[in-house]
Chains A and B, each alone.
Chain A
């Protein structure tokens, strides 16, 4: 199993530019999560999908953030326009929400907005 795959691993962009982060969940998993890691809040949940449907996006900080899951094998997190305070590591994770199962994380995208 290839695990959760995120791209790019690093993204450096200028303030005001659009940024798109990509995620391929583990095949067979039916829920997908986007997290942001910060020192103050640790792993902060931004949004999660169940069977490709957004269930809870209350963690999305602003309207500048949007996420889509057009099919079971792909999701994007978009920031438009980006700001320096968006600089963080963004993680995607997936799980099969049957019996208690652990989340599986990708290796993250380190975003730097200058």
Chain B
């Protein structure tokens, strides 16, 4: 049973426009959420995170939004750049398991120049 779901396997966006990647989770006990970016032949790299006490966290072009009532997480990239083309994984964790991390299946983003 997948506790973290990314229902869009792929997304294409024009350079300069906004990319919105979505993620849903089922366990209301999750209190820490993360986005990772993965290039081919490399490991996932941490991008941005948000604690459950917040509903928004921003880092440069990347913003993560958390809607706890809907159990929904999104990542906004503005403006999108060709170098952003990668697979994006969302992840969730809850502290009482020593930060066991649950990952979605990933969304492949292509930014078209």
Contact = CB atoms under 8 A, between A and B. Distances in A.
A63 B98 CA distance: 25
Interface string B91-113: 10101011111111110000000
B42 A42 contact: no
B41 A31 contact: no
Interface string B42-53: 111110010100
Nearest to A50: B98
Contacts of B104: 42
Interface string A40-53: 11110100101000
A98 B42 CA distance: 26
Contacts of A91: 43-44
Contact of A101 (B41, B97, B99): B99
A40 to B, nearest CB: 7
Nearest to A10: B41
